[in-house]
Amino acid sequence: MIGLISATAAGASARDRLATAWPGRTRVYDGPVREAVERAFAECDQLVCFLATGATVRLLAPLLADKSTDPGVVCVDEAGRYAVSLLGGHGGGANSLATEVGSTLSATPVITTATDATGIPGLDTLGLPFEGAVATVTRAMLDGAPVTLRADTVWPLPPLPPNVTAGGAGGVPAARPHVQGPTGPTDHAPQGVPTPSTPAGTVRPGAALLVSDRVVPLGPADVVLRPPSLVVGVGASRGVGVDEVYGLVVDVLRDAGLSALSVGELATVDAKADEPGIVGAAAELGVPVRTYPADVLASVDVPNPSDAPLAAVGTPSVAEAAALAAAGRGGELLVPKRKSSPLGRPAMATCAVVRRAPRGRLAVVGLGPGARDLVTPRAVAELRRASVLVGLDQYVDQIRDLLRPGTRVIESGLGREEERARTAVAEARAGHAVALIGSGDAGVYAMASPALAEAADDIEVVGVPGVTAALAAAAILGAPLGHDHVSISLSDLHTPWEVIERRVRAAAEADIVVTFYNPRSRGRDWQLPKALALLAEHRRGTTPVGVVRNASRPDGTSHLTTLARIDPTTVDMMTVVTVGNTATREIAGRMVTPRGYRWQSEGAR
């Protein structure tokens, strides 16, 4: 919950705007300001104070306890000009809250934490649990001092500055001897990424950043990030206690030298989904419970099947089978089934531990039609998260300033879409966080289709929608897509013209508004006139047609014409052409397709 506090009428006005914009997320604290701040500080995860920064500091000072538990605080001036991240920028989420408040109130976010100011990712903002000297290692990263990066396996981290370099081999044996690359096991790791032969936990002089799910020795200038790489499978008798399940899991992890902070989930059979002991143990660990039908678990090959669970729930294995099922392809059984050992009575719980194979992350990002303000915040976040960016060279140039320092860029020219898709998937399979960019929406005549045709379930894939050219052009023209509409590409480089023509005829006969992508190039100058002629067989020559070039860009142009008067020679590959249906009209210089035909018929009477 976000507590909102103000002291004046001007502050209350901005406060109420925020409360209205974020229903369910905020709580207004009235009354004397000091008391309001004290109550909100104790009850809320974050605060937004519509007060002077000096006054807010004095009110907060007696309340501060620990940066890991204090709420994040944002201070907004009464004129609503600035949203200042005042307290808990990272741990309390005040930096991101200041950005949100600024966006909602049209205020400028003020963020002064060093990592955000320099574009270096804060180690405490990566979404991974951590242990050790995070402030010391972060300071070394900022100062350009040498920081050694060591990891059991490649993990999809954001780009790190050049002074963070992969360490050499030696010391504690690596937990995994190989990384599964795009064509098989490999010891190679691209620039800035640790090799699996570089084990976490090797103590060396200077700062060190470790990535490991194992319990490792930490020096005074070491920090370890805990990836969610472990799955704990749990089987239990009805009525088992939380303490027995939780105690078993903790003991098993400790004996195996594994960190509980790297447990991503507990897994079990569907019949135990509501077992209080399992649910409670997951709550103690702070992880979800994933369940599987008994027949699914029965099909998993395990080393220690048993007749007891087969008779009880219909599968010869629960703990091992559930952990292996949840881990997915390449999961490694680290700890076989082990029973609890309560004093004076039979065991009621079993567990097994599986390590997931490393999974890279591929974000397919739509950049919109070209204008910077139409690049979505989610797209920007993914660009800054990626350690590898793959894209068309001209699109890379559009967003290069949004990338963090250290991002590895792989760019190529027109006509190499399939190659870019294969490259992006291969980089993700190597364990990296990858962003594959395209214009408009990545799923509309762009990179999502070839990328997903290459990708299997061994990588995480995230789609980031963007404003596609048809929508950007429609907003400029008026409301041409107010009723049913279709987009058709006129490029016959990959689709036979016979197929394209059949689709144009179908749209014409069905009286659907059509937006043509890739309408005309120097080598393809007859397809657009042919498509327009097909539409003209079913629509009047006065049907409105919108022609928009470089929609949303500074050099963009648009004009409204008709099906009979459009000049195809004014159209190129940077243009989209929208042809109305029989209900589309020009109204006050705008192209409008009625949302419902009843409205049109009533207006005609």
Q: For 55, left (φ over 0), alpha (ψ -120 to 50), or beta?
A: alpha
Torsions phi, psi of 93, nearest 5? 75, 20
User: What per-residue string of b and e applies to 270-306 under the rule 16 or more CB within 10 Å gives b?
Assistant: bbbeebebbbbbbeebebebbbbebeebbebebeebb
Q: For 594, left (φ over 0), alpha (ψ -120 to 50), or beta?
A: beta
The pLDDT value given to residue 601: 53
**For helices 497-509 and 527-536, angle between their N-to-C axes, nearest 10 degrees:** 30
Of 560, 363, 372, 577, nearest to 469 by C-alpha is: 577
Q: What is the pTM of this model?
A: 0.75
pLDDT at 381 over 70: yes
Q: Which of 110-114, 119-123, 178-182, 334-338 has the highest mean pLDDT?
A: 334-338
DSSP code string of 346-357? ---EEEEEEEPP
The pLDDT value given to residue 172: 32
The pLDDT value given to residue 471: 95
Confidence of residue 598 (pLDDT cuts 50, 70, 90): low
> Model confidence over 104-118: pLDDT tens digits?
888 999 988 877 777
The pLDDT value given to residue 127: 80
| Contact present, 294 and 270 (Cβ < 8 Å) | yes
pLDDT at 178 over 80: no
pLDDT at 204 over 60: no
Say how far apart CA 360 and CA 430 lie, in whole Å. 7
The pLDDT value given to residue 352: 96
The pLDDT value given to residue 597: 59
Token pair of 513 as six digits:
């508004």
Sheet holding 433-438, edge to edge: 408-412, 388-392, 433-438, 361-366, 460-464
pLDDT at 125 over 90: no
Say how far apart CA 385 and CA 389 lie, in whole Å. 10
**Considering only 53-57, 455-459, 470-474, which range has the smallest mean pLDDT?**
455-459
> Model confidence over 513-558: pLDDT tens digits?
999 999 999 889 999 999 999 999 999 999 999 999 999 888 999 9
The percent of residues above 90 in pLDDT, for the chain, comes to 62
> Model confidence over 144-161: pLDDT tens digits?
899 999 988 888 888 888
> Model confidence over 84-93: pLDDT tens digits?
999 988 878 8
| Contact present, 469 and 517 (Cβ < 8 Å) | yes
Distance of CA 485 to the CA centre of its chain: 30
Torsions phi, psi of 198, nearest 5? -100, 90
Say how far apart CA 534 and CA 507 lie, in whole Å. 10
Confidence of residue 180 (pLDDT cuts 50, 70, 90): very low
The pLDDT value given to residue 301: 92
Length of the chain: 605
Confidence of residue 192 (pLDDT cuts 50, 70, 90): very low
How distant, in Å, are the alpha carbons of 5, 295, 377 from that of 89? 19, 48, 19
